[in-house]
Amino acid sequence: MPQITLDKTDLKILQVLQENGRLTNVELSERVALSPSPCLRRLKQLEDAGIIRKYAALLSPVEVELGLQAFIRVAISKAKDAREDFSNAVQTWPEVLSCFALTGETDYLLHAFFTDMNAFSHFVLDTLLSHHGVQDAQSSFVLKEIKNTTALPLAHLQKD
């Protein structure tokens, strides 16, 4: 991936796109005070450099009947193959939106969505705990969402 140096215009493009990734190039160019051709060129550079990974639609979990949100802490066997097998298996579990390897007592943290407690129970008992490397799992359920954003902070990149 090509390495690029981000200037104020690039940062503005990134900030605007994090708020609304569906803008047309003309709309984006207007919001960042740039003509459409240079705006499109910069956008392509940001994509080619891997700074913009992809575009996606963010769905409302409740509206698609996934009202039970859980964070699941997973401890697994210390064997290298158990970690590798778990990493591969988690890729196939559609309920799990993200999985993080952690330091400390917990090996992995899963963020998952379910239709209800029955679906959660089925996943934990029949999928997660039946995986050969999993030794323990502890869950916490989301009572209320206080903040949820996909926008990364970019202020540290601004050069005054």
pLDDT in the model for residue 80: 85
Q: How far apart are CA 67 and CA 125, in angstroms?
A: 20
Domain borders along the chain are: 8-57, 61-141
Query: What one-character DSSP code corresponds to residue 57?
Result: P
Fold type of domain 61-141: Alpha-Beta Plaits (3.30.70)
pLDDT of residue 158: 87
Q: Name the fold adopted by 8-57.
A: Arc Repressor Mutant, subunit A (1.10.10)
Residues 6+ apart with CB under 8 A from 98: 110, 111
pLDDT band at 120 (very low <50, low <70, confident <90, very high): very high
pLDDT for residue 71 is more than 80: yes
Within 10 Å of residue 41's Cβ, how many Cβ atoms?
11
Inform me whether the pLDDT recorded for 98 exceeds 60: yes
Residue 119 has pLDDT above 70, yes or no: yes
Check residue 1 and give its pLDDT. 55
Q: For residues 150 and 144, what is the distance between their CA atoms, to the nearest angstrom? A: 18
Q: How confident is the model at residue 160 (pLDDT cuts 50, 70, 90)?
A: low
